Amino acid sequence: MNIVIDTNRYRDGDDGEATAVAVLKTADQICVPFIVLGELRYGFLHGTKTRENELRLRRFLQTARIKTFFPDERTTQEYAKLALQLRKQGTPIPTNDIWIAALTIQHNLTLFARDRHFDHLPQLARV
């Protein structure tokens, strides 16, 4: 299975949480959206282990099964459709998570996240 990892599931895996570790070990490819990298690094800067966390993230990103995702023209179209859908439904979610969902849908992948607000997007495949 090829998955897109959300920030909270990266942290779970890094912390050794059993469910996250199991999914990450069995995934064929783990896609990391650019926005997740920004969220992680923002969190690192607020903590006391910035250097350690950054080193672990860099090692993770160097793994052969890891791919970093960046937006393109098609991503912006997916984002716009999802944002409009959520607005019409009256179920807004954080902007960063709309970008993550857009990249996941664009590439026809499965999202690995804990956030329940992704449930408002039934077209989004989830682990």
- Check residue 69 and give its pLDDT: 95
Can you give the pLDDT at residue 51? 97
| Burial status of residue 2 (CB atoms within 10 A of its CB: 0-12, 13-18, 19 or more) | middle
Per-residue pLDDT at 118? 98
Q: Which pLDDT value is given to residue 113?
A: 98
The pTM assigned to this predicted structure is 0.95
The reported pLDDT for the residue numbered 3 is 98
pLDDT tens for each residue of 32-60: 999 999 999 999 999 999 999 999 999 99
Q: What percent of the chain is predicted at pLDDT more than 70?
A: 100
What is the model's pLDDT at position 50? 97
By the 8 A CB rule, do 14 and 120 touch?
no
Residues of the chain with pLDDT under 50: none
Query: Does CATH place domain 2-120 in 3.40.50.1010?
Result: yes
The pLDDT of residue 119 is 97
